[in-house]
């Protein structure tokens, strides 16, 4: 049996073994630095309160704030407990988010896929995007009234632009090869939109939702100024009127913790639904 030497592929030399000392060390990440920063802020806060650098009326100690959180959770404040205030705010946030998603995703798809849709909707989005909620809050009250609908509307309007713009950006980033392949197989425009473009836009939609939640929480305090009887924003405003600073700081901390938990949940959902985008 003859062997054609020219047909045998050359064998690559074996790579040198990498010792344990030569392997790159895994970075510990930013968590230790973040924890150290939080500890330093709390320590500075405690020292400023302990040595009277700031009046306790304006900056109570962390221990007093913790006691205020416990007191509001057990005894309540302005006729509602902390759980009731939190639930009222969460219901407004989720209702506004649902309305913003129902309106924002189709609007973003229209902007990203249609020249006419972009011409109609883009000026409206660019008009709303830089406006602070307090600017159109009086107009919403005149149009809708002072009930829950006005509060949810104001929060939803603050959430709409991030969702619309992120959806439109996700639509434009859909791979052209996928769209052309779907067309070559005879897919209709609706099938391409639902089965190709929309799945490609999901990472951007989730990112826009995370940004919208931040905008919603920042609008919550303004929305609950209008004839509210419960809510974290209402609790903060009521405490500020009577200079109950520990309750004000407690409410801010609760909002920050809830917003942080929402951010973690949104990132987990992103890893679950679009794992290929979470590791980009």
Per residue in 149-175, pLDDT (tens digit) is 889 999 999 999 999 999 999 888 888
Closest CA to 208 of 91, 97, 127, 118: 97
- How far is residue 194 from each of residues 37, 106, 152, 169, 265, measured CA to CA in Å? 45, 11, 29, 16, 25
Q: What percent of the chain has pLDDT over 90?
A: 31
The contacts of residue 233 (CB under 8 Å, 6+ apart) are 89, 220, 221, 222, 223, 224, 225, 251
Can you give the pLDDT at residue 196?
Answer: 84
Domain with residues 59-278, CATH architecture: Orthogonal Bundle (1.10)
- pLDDT per residue as tens digits for the range 180-229: 888 888 888 888 888 888 888 888 898 899 899 888 888 888 888 777 88
Q: What percent of the chain has pLDDT over 70?
A: 88
Domain boundaries along the sequence of the chain:
59-278
Mean pLDDT of 24-50: 80
E-strand ranges in 36-126 read none
C-alpha span between 250 and 185 (Å, rounded): 59
Can you give the pLDDT at residue 70?
Answer: 92
Can you give the pLDDT at residue 3?
Answer: 42
Q: What are phi and psi of 243, to 5 degrees?
A: 55, 35
DSSP structure class, residue 31: H
Give 205 or 34, the one with higher predicted confidence: 205
Can you give the pLDDT at residue 67?
Answer: 92
Q: Give the distance, in angstroms, between the CA of residue 145 and the centroid of all CA atoms in the same chain.
A: 28
Can you give the pLDDT at residue 90?
Answer: 93
- How far is residue 173 from each of residues 80, 106, 168, 191, measured CA to CA in Å? 47, 16, 9, 17
Confidence of residue 86 (pLDDT cuts 50, 70, 90): very high
Alpha helices in 114-197 (DSSP H): 115-128, 133-144, 148-172, 176-184, 189-192
C-alpha span between 252 and 236 (Å, rounded): 8
pLDDT at 7 over 50: no
Place of tokens 């917003």: 259
The reported pTM is: 0.78
How many residues are there in the chain? 280
Mean pLDDT of 104-112: 92
- pLDDT per residue as tens digits for the range 42-76: 899 888 888 888 888 888 889 999 999 999 999 98
Closest CA to 158 of 67, 221, 239: 221
DSSP structure class, residue 215: H
Can you give the pLDDT at residue 181?
Answer: 86
Instruction: Work out the mean pLDDT of the chain and round it to a whole number.
Output: 83
Give 261 or 222, the one with higher predicted confidence: 261
Can you give the pLDDT at residue 270?
Answer: 79
pLDDT at 249 over 50: yes
Confidence of residue 29 (pLDDT cuts 50, 70, 90): low
């Amino acid at each position: 049996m003859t062997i054609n030497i020219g047909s045998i592929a050359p064998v690559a030399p074996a790579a040198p073994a990498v010792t344990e000392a030569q392997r790159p060390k895994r970075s510990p990440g930013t968590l230790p630095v973040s924890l150290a920063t939080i500890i330093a802020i709390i320590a500075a806060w405690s020292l400023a309160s302990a040595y009277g650098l700031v009046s306790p009326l304006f900056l109570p100690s962390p221990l007093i704030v913790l006691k205020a959180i416990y007191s509001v959770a057990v005894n309540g404040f302005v006729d509602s407990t902390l759980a009731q205030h939190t639930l009222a705010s969460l219901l407004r946030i989720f209702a506004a988010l649902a309305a913003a998603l129902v309106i924002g995703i189709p609007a973003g798809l229209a902007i990203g896929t249609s020249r006419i849709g972009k011409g109609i909707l883009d000026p409206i989005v660019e008009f709303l995007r830089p406006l602070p909620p307090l600017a159109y809050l009086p107009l919403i009250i005149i149009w809708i009234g002072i009930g829950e609908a006005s509060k949810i509307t104001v929060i939803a309007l603050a959430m709409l632009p991030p969702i619309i713009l992120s959806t439109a950006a996700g639509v434009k980033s859909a791979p052209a090869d996928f769209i052309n392949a779907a067309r070559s197989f005879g897919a209709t425009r609706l099938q391409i939109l639902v089965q190709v473009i929309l799945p490609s836009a999901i990472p951007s939609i989730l990112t826009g939702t995370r940004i919208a939640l931040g905008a919603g929480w920042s609008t919550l305090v303004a929305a609950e100024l209008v004839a509210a009887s419960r809510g974290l924003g209402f609790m903060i405003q009521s405490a500020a009127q009577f200079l109950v600073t520990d309750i004000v700081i407690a409410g801010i901390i609760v909002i920050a913790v809830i917003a942080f938990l929402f951010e973690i949940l949104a990132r987990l959902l992103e890893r679950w639904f679009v794992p290929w985008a979470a590791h980009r």
